[in-house]
Structure 1
Amino acid sequence: MAEAGPLPLDVPAPACGLFEGGWYRLQARLHGVSAAGLRLCLLVEDAGPPCADEACVSLPPVRADARVQALVRLRMDTHALRLGIPGHADAGVRAQVRLRRIGKRRALAAMLADLARQAGLGAALYLALGVAWRLRRGLRAAGDWAYAQYRQRLGAPPDPYAGWLLARALDPHAQPAARARRLAALPARPRVSILLPVYAPPLDWLRACLDSVRAQIYPDWELCIADDASPAPQVRALIEDYCRRDGRIRAVYRARNGHIAAASNDALALARGEWVALLDHDDLLAPQALLEMVRAAQAHPHWRMLYSDEDKLDADGRRCDPYFKPDFDGTLLLGQNCIGHLAMYRADLLREVGGFAPDVDGSQDWDLALRCIERLQHDEIGHVPQVLYHWRAHAGSSAADPAAKDYATTAARRAVQRHLERTGQMARAEILAPGRVRIHRALPSPLPRVSLIVPTRDRVDLLRPCVEGLLHATDYPALEVLVVDNGSVEAQTRDYLAAIARDARVRVLCFDAPFNYSAINNFAARQASGSVLGLINNDIQVIAPGWLREMVAEALRPEVGAVGALLLYPDGRIQHAGVLLGIGGVAAHPWCGHPADSDGQMGRLRLAQELSAVTGACLVVRREAFDAVGGLDAALPVAFNDVDLCLRLRAAGYRNVWTPHARLVHAESATRGPDTDPHNLARLRREADFMRRRWGVLLDDDPAYNPNLSLDGEAFALATSPRPRARGEWMVLGGQIELPPSAG
């Protein structure tokens, strides 16, 4: 092993100075502190614009003997590797590390041995059988599947959320004295009415729920209980006991069971507060819940509706399964109830919309949120990025199993469909899965013309399947394909370009200048005839005919700027699922390398949603929006130009949308090649510096990416500590965002 050094630690390179892509056996020994259970990762320092999960390879937890041993795969050649702890620049840990290259068969044997030792013989047998089944599709496919399973089993500590909660409990900000100071500093203390519909809960759970309200640090609340004719008399007796003990608790008792919406309306009728919060009879509020919600509401006096993050309580009362939510996302809300709990509304807003609808029981909160946002501006809806609500996950609850209440999903589809109709959207809501809805948006007639711009230079082996897919495997007839030739020299390429130019839907344009992705696309956009533009890499392959219909339908929404797709590697793994800001310094692609059927965080990989940026490898945008922000910036010739375009669209008031319902294959910049030679690395650093100068702290405050999630390494890992929110505003209305001068 190499001599011990402090983490992060450079991994000694081979004599040739290059770690070639392939399989490696990593062994490390840690010194200095109790290292057992620490999570390490192998950082790929020069991987180009980072695919987050490939740029930070998670390793198994450090063993009790302070050692870690793992198999890692490098997808491409790299000059620099570092061993580190995500979120820690200096953890006081020293390490010795050895990285040894091995072949494919030895890699498979190492995976089996590691799984047998750390996860049991059953896990190893499952892996062996799965590999045997997939070998008929080739060794590469079997190896990809095996490595994904291996990383899933061994690449993360047993319960990262438990460690995160411990760190939060020790935070001085969470101590009673600090919370008391925040309470005393409030300029006003409005009353919060908590609505609690009750029907036949286990008494212990109801008692715990009521106790969590009485334990609130913020004292100016009232609890409005509506018992929905619970059959057991002990329920009423318990409620009456709490009413006697605390004058802030009031109750009404229904004579007949009317279900949750009716009971919630009865509770709302009791409310006398300026704000109304929603609580279920078997769940718990965090002690600081109302304090933090009121503080946030007073810091943003224009908010009329706000919501927090949440987690669950398992059967043993342990907190688990957190949902660190994005800031308000109206597109995602059509697919899932991402408002959830804790939700707090201005009381006048709830009365304005008529309270809870009686025919959507099971999804009444989702329906309420949809009806409220119809009366609000985007900036009147706030998000408090703290876990303030604990769902109880138990047998029969939707928190434990979304399929447990099929009627709730049916009601959700009905609620979403009505919202679409009320807001004049020509679209159809379809049940996608329990608790998830897909929106099918209608296209106008006649269809708007779409101009697909395909820059290329030679590599007819890539261009041919790309163009053939656009012309013959895409079921959108109103399109033109602009192939922009940037200096092709091969005879077969010129012959192919001449052949496709005979198709009336194709125009071949010549761009006789050094490669500049931004300038090439701007050049073609000026000559395009379509009202919708599509930026398409020449290594894109169509695998399903409806992809362009899906993207154009989203792009035609007047509030939408750029629309991105789900792009897969040729082996079927995820390559692009949108772009998150801040990871790797500027931006990265989450879920890169994961199986195509992954759900992602709380099912978001299955749902259309708003993201700050999407990849330019397959991007659709209305020409008017593209022109409004000046197109792509030629000062960014290769990297980050798509991210910059999306951020300028967002600053102009548009929202960028990513949809998983448009799937294509992308060979990942096969024409240009990887960013591993010194010239490309220097150019990449210049472009990253440009983005930092232009966008500054906004890159570290992506509204689609919760500040409790890490920017250091793997996307959606928990951050060591929450990031401060940026002082700037994303939505710039009636003004201009200051940008440095462009280079062209």
Structure 2
Amino acid sequence: MRFWTISFATAIRKGATTDRAHERKLSVGFSAGDNSIIAKNDVARSASGFVALGHDPWFLLKPKHCLRRGWYRLDLKAFLPDGYQPRVYFNFGHGFQERFGCPLYVDGDRYSAIVRAYKPTLSVRLDPVDRAVDFDLKSFTITPANPILLAKLRLLQMLGIVWNLAKAPLGWRMHFADLRRDYLSTRGFVTLPVRYQARSSQDAYLRWIRARDYSPERGRAKLEAEIQKLAAPPLISVLMPVYNPEIDHLNKAIDSVSRQIYPNWELCIADDGSTDPAIRRTILSWVQRDRRIKVIFRGKNGHISEATNSAFALAKGEWVALLDHDDLLREHALAEVALTLSRDPTIELVYSDEDKIDSRGRRADPHFKPDFSIDLLRSMNYLNHLTVHRSENIRMVGGWRRGFEGSQDYDLNLRIIERIPASSISHIPKILYHWRTSAGSTASDTSEKSYAYQNGLKALAEHIERCQLPAQAEPLESTPYFRIRYHVPEPAPLVSLIIPTRDGVHLLETSIGSVLQKTTYKNYEIIIVDNGSSKPETHRFFKNIASDHPNIRIIRYDREFNYSAINNFAVQHARGTVLGLLNNDIEVISPDWLTAMVARALMPEVGCVGAKLYYPDGTIQHGGVILGLGSVAGHAHKHFPRNAAGYFARLLLQQNLSAVTAACLVVRKDVYLEVGGLEEQNLPVAFNDVDFCLRVREAGYLNVFTPFAELYHHESVSRGDDSTPEKMERSIREIAFMRARWGRRLDADPYYSPNLTLQREDFSYAE
């Protein structure tokens, strides 16, 4: 069987590099002499190897002969900056798609993975880095995987001991020494085959579908009975702009509307000058079959915004739903919408969960969304499908605007949510919409249709201007998402950073040193609360740090440890209008951490702002707090790799959450005092931050998680062992108090889907 070997060091032809940023060709010989590699985007040669010229450098590997289907080992020898994880993508005939991508795992200067090419491979794409940096590539090999070792690997996976072979019996460890050498990285993680990964995830989703999803057998009769009870069932107009879809997809899209359980709908189709005459015949045949289907054939192609407006002109319904010409509505979609509207007359906008469907009807990649989050919407159009608007709101804002094609619905959503209260936006946590994946579709590849991204950024910028926010919209580098960078007013308000401590001078010195050396925000004071330190070196440190830095004060709290009481005591001494609660084991990473947090906390609608925290090994310690995890609350995405995007990129995006950790929390002093500070009597150690954030939400404020404030958290190193009988008893009391105070609200976090598990912190599907 053929294998590919690429030598980057020796096979670059003279004159291959030019000043152009795209389509630079580097002719690289494989050992078989029949292949080439092209530096396809944002790559040039440099004295030390290569330089990435932008945020998306990648190489195209195109052999003269297809790589046969089967299992392969990928090995890349490269010198990359710390923290970068290269990825390899396979083209099985439909271009490069994210689902056919595989990360390579690091072991020194070698990166490797085991993958399965489930079809013949036409070409391979290598993404070594994801931003403008210097790097060097030495060689890349794709070789058939040893089938015997692979079988042993699969056996170990099924036995569940592959993650830590050190715990296996001695005989197994010796027998699989070759497996450890050939298939495990130095961290002990197996690099799973890409198709096996996809199948594992798909299996989990299929289990969820069988256990929890709607099915006609167990749900249709109940929905039909509820619909019959509606006193005034609303007319829902489904808008479908059409332009040259595949006939089969168009038929299935229209059929998905015709099969709706809910009968009071109309389908308004606007054909935008499709060039295939079969499309006109298809639509007219449907019009003849069902009088609820209306159509307008536009004489001139005006793109999707104008086509949607034409479809809207046909609509008579009080409510408008949007359907792309190749997607599918679930049969119960409009029934769920109508019943939701009937339960609450104040609703102005409804959105649901969605998943993706391929040409074979296979479902995947469900997006189980949170309830309405304005910060998340300003990061991406997560409302997406299915979204249903009150017709009058669409008319009031002037419909869809030309010039926002590809993001025309995002622009509309932003203009409408500016006019309606957040309480009138309802989320149906059910899969009501199948988004079709096909070549060239943004459902299958977020790199497609860059014009849509630019139009989305423009829509967001105009939204900021209309709302008169002190901010600017920016691309979020190397992602298809956005960042709003909020500005701090001049003069910047004084921030009081409160750090409780008892001895642990090595931690405190690191923490304060990182604040002083790295923080770009200038107007702050540090209040060190000494809770009974006894070591001479601690007191020497207090004396020196206070004398060297006028903005640092030491105050004493000579009572037993009570985190809530200590912070409440320090707030009384705080001179700032903004408070920053910090643990003494926090270490700053990003210099603008405090600027990012303060800028958002100063907005009148915001209460608490939390940061993105890492363990010392770089994995996630805190990506926000999810209610219900571990009975009370837990941290989102705990132990995920630092560069992980998280569930639908939620580790990368600013968003609203129910709570954030007080290990690094910023809040205005007036908000802190308004809700009465931290709970001293019942929550002296644990969950006081969760309780505080919930009371802040109850007072009408939003809590915000920002990934743009990055810090290390050494996780309560200074607090001691929690396993003593006294501390265990205290922990039980704190849990009981939280359950008594907040009850079922702890089990229904509005920013975490009920379709996701409360057993783990990884956003996996509920079982």
Q: Same fold (TM over 0.5)?
A: yes
Are 1:560 and 2:606 matched, yes or no? yes
Residue 619 of structure 2 is matched in structure 1 by 573
* CA apart distance, 1:315: 3.6
* CA apart distance, 1:167: 2.0
Residue 520 of structure 1 is matched in structure 2 by 566
Contact 1:71–1:111 (8 Å) recurs in 2:
no
Aligned partner of 1:253: which letter? F
Residue 114 of structure 2 is matched in structure 1 by none
Instruction: Mark the runs of 5 or more structure 2 residues left unpaired by the alignment.
Output: 1-152
Residue 260 of structure 1 is matched in structure 2 by 304
* CA apart distance, 1:172: 8.5
Contact 2:156–2:162 (8 Å) recurs in 1:
no
Partner of 2:722, secondary structure, is coil
The structure 1 residue matched to 2:584, chosen from 521, 531, 538, is 538
* CA apart distance, 1:195: 0.6
Q: Over residues 626-651 of structure 1, what are the superposed CA-to-partner deviations in whole Å (9 max), with x where a residue is unaligned? A: 11100101021110000000000000
Are 1:464 and 2:509 matched, yes or no? yes
Alpha-carbon separation, structure 2, partners of 1:169 and 1:684: 37
Are 1:697 and 2:755 matched, yes or no? no
Residue 678 of structure 1 is matched in structure 2 by 725
> After the TM superposition, which residues 289-300 of structure 1 pair with which residues of structure 2 at under 5 Å, given as runs?
289-300=333-344
Alpha-carbon separation, structure 2, partners of 1:489 and 1:104: 48
Alpha-carbon separation, structure 2, partners of 1:595 and 1:166: 31
* CA apart distance, 1:103: 11
* CA apart distance, 1:680: 2.2
Residue 430 of structure 2 is matched in structure 1 by 386
Instruction: Give the 3 Å change call, closer, same or farther, for CA 478–536 of structure 1 in structure 2.
Output: same
Residue 710 of structure 1 is matched in structure 2 by 757
Residue 641 of structure 1 is matched in structure 2 by 688
Are 1:224 and 2:268 matched, yes or no? yes
Q: Over residues 92-144 of structure 1, what are the superposed CA-to-partner deviations in whole Å (9 max), with x where a residue is unaligned? A: xxxxxxx9946999989979849xxxxxxxxx85x54x53xxxxxxxxxx45x
Contact 1:396–1:404 (8 Å) recurs in 2:
yes
Contact 2:638–2:761 (8 Å) recurs in 1:
no
Residue 474 of structure 1 is matched in structure 2 by 519
Residue 9 of structure 1 is matched in structure 2 by none
Are 1:492 and 2:583 matched, yes or no? no
Aligned partner of 2:267: which letter? L
Contact 2:326–2:436 (8 Å) recurs in 1:
yes
Alpha-carbon separation, structure 2, partners of 1:717 and 1:397: 26
* CA apart distance, 1:159: 1.8
Are 1:186 and 2:230 matched, yes or no? yes
Are 1:70 and 2:70 matched, yes or no? no
Instruction: Give the 3 Å change call, closer, same or farther, for CA 397–563 of structure 1 in structure 2.
Output: same
Aligned partner of 2:475: which letter? I
Are 1:197 and 2:241 matched, yes or no? yes
Partner of 2:403, secondary structure, is helix
Residue 697 of structure 2 is matched in structure 1 by 650
- RMSD value over aligned CA atoms? 2.6
Instruction: Give the 3 Å change call, closer, same or farther, for CA 64–546 of structure 1 in structure 2.
Output: closer
Partner of 1:599, secondary structure, is coil
* CA apart distance, 1:341: 0.7
> After the TM superposition, which residues 322-401 of structure 1 pair with which residues of structure 2 at under 5 Å, given as runs?
322-401=366-445
Contact 1:610–1:658 (8 Å) recurs in 2:
yes
Instruction: Give the 3 Å change call, closer, same or farther, for CA 698–249 of structure 1 in structure 2.
Output: same
Q: Over residues 694-719 of structure 1, what are the superposed CA-to-partner deviations in whole Å (9 max), with x where a residue is unaligned? A: 00011011010011112123442222
Aligned partner of 1:375: which letter? R
Instruction: Give the 3 Å change call, closer, same or farther, for CA 169–597 of structure 1 in structure 2.
Output: closer
Residue 481 of structure 2 is matched in structure 1 by 436
> After the TM superposition, which residues 85-164 of structure 1 pair with which residues of structure 2 at under 5 Å, given as runs?
101=167, 113=179, 125=182, 127-128=183-184, 130-131=185-186, 142-143=187-188, 146=189, 159-164=203-208
Partner of 2:361, secondary structure, is coil
Instruction: Give the 3 Å change call, closer, same or farther, for CA 102–498 of structure 1 in structure 2.
Output: farther
Instruction: Give the 3 Å change call, closer, same or farther, for CA 403–241 of structure 1 in structure 2.
Output: same
Aligned partner of 1:344: which letter? V
Residue 501 of structure 1 is matched in structure 2 by 546
TM-score of the aligned structures, taking structure 2 as reference length:
0.76
Aligned partner of 1:528: which letter? A
Residue 665 of structure 1 is matched in structure 2 by 712
Alpha-carbon separation, structure 2, partners of 1:356 and 1:105: 68
Instruction: Give the 3 Å change call, closer, same or farther, for CA 153–399 of structure 1 in structure 2.
Output: closer
Which is bigger in relative contact order (C-alpha 8 A, separation at least 6)? 1
Instruction: Give the 3 Å change call, closer, same or farther, for CA 417–106 of structure 1 in structure 2.
Output: farther
* CA apart distance, 1:298: 1.0
Residue 465 of structure 2 is matched in structure 1 by 421
TM-score of the aligned structures, taking structure 1 as reference length:
0.79
Instruction: Give the 3 Å change call, closer, same or farther, for CA 683–475 of structure 1 in structure 2.
Output: same
Partner of 1:402, secondary structure, is coil
Instruction: Give the 3 Å change call, closer, same or farther, for CA 492–556 of structure 1 in structure 2.
Output: same
Residue 687 of structure 1 is matched in structure 2 by 734
Partner of 1:702, secondary structure, is coil
Q: Over residues 325-378 of structure 1, what are the superposed CA-to-partner deviations in whole Å (9 max), with x where a residue is unaligned? A: 000001100001111010001111110111011111000111111000000011
Are 1:529 and 2:575 matched, yes or no? yes
Instruction: Give the 3 Å change call, closer, same or farther, for CA 525–109 of structure 1 in structure 2.
Output: farther
Aligned partner of 2:269: which letter? I
Aligned partner of 2:719: which letter? R
Aligned partner of 2:672: which letter? F
Alpha-carbon separation, structure 2, partners of 1:107 and 1:533: 53
Q: Over residues 609-637 of structure 1, what are the superposed CA-to-partner deviations in whole Å (9 max), with x where a residue is unaligned? A: 00000000000000111111001010211
Residue 361 of structure 2 is matched in structure 1 by 317
Q: Over residues 260-308 of structure 1, what are the superposed CA-to-partner deviations in whole Å (9 max), with x where a residue is unaligned? A: 0000011111110010001100100000000001101111110010100
* CA apart distance, 1:679: 2.7
Partner of 2:447, secondary structure, is helix
* CA apart distance, 1:673: 3.0
Partner of 1:218, secondary structure, is coil
Q: What percentage of aligned pairs have identical amino acids?
A: 47
Contact 1:412–1:435 (8 Å) recurs in 2:
no
Residue 726 of structure 1 is matched in structure 2 by none
* CA apart distance, 1:442: 1.2
Instruction: Give the 3 Å change call, closer, same or farther, for CA 105–526 of structure 1 in structure 2.
Output: farther
Contact 1:111–1:150 (8 Å) recurs in 2:
no
Residue 661 of structure 2 is matched in structure 1 by 615
Partner of 1:499, secondary structure, is helix
Instruction: Give the 3 Å change call, closer, same or farther, for CA 492–519 of structure 1 in structure 2.
Output: same
Contact 1:455–1:538 (8 Å) recurs in 2:
yes
Alpha-carbon separation, structure 2, partners of 1:172 and 1:205: 22
Alpha-carbon separation, structure 1, partners of 2:359 and 2:291: 32
The structure 1 residue matched to 2:330, chosen from 275, 286, 289, is 286
Contact 1:183–1:218 (8 Å) recurs in 2:
yes
Aligned partner of 2:311: which letter? A
* CA apart distance, 1:435: 3.3
Alpha-carbon separation, structure 2, partners of 1:154 and 1:204: 27
Contact 2:635–2:761 (8 Å) recurs in 1:
no
Aligned partner of 1:287: which letter? E
Alpha-carbon separation, structure 2, partners of 1:560 and 1:111: 55
Q: Over residues 420-460 of structure 1, what are the superposed CA-to-partner deviations in whole Å (9 max), with x where a residue is unaligned? A: 00000021111114531011111100001100000001111
* CA apart distance, 1:169: 5.5
Instruction: Give the 3 Å change call, closer, same or farther, for CA 108–619 of structure 1 in structure 2.
Output: farther
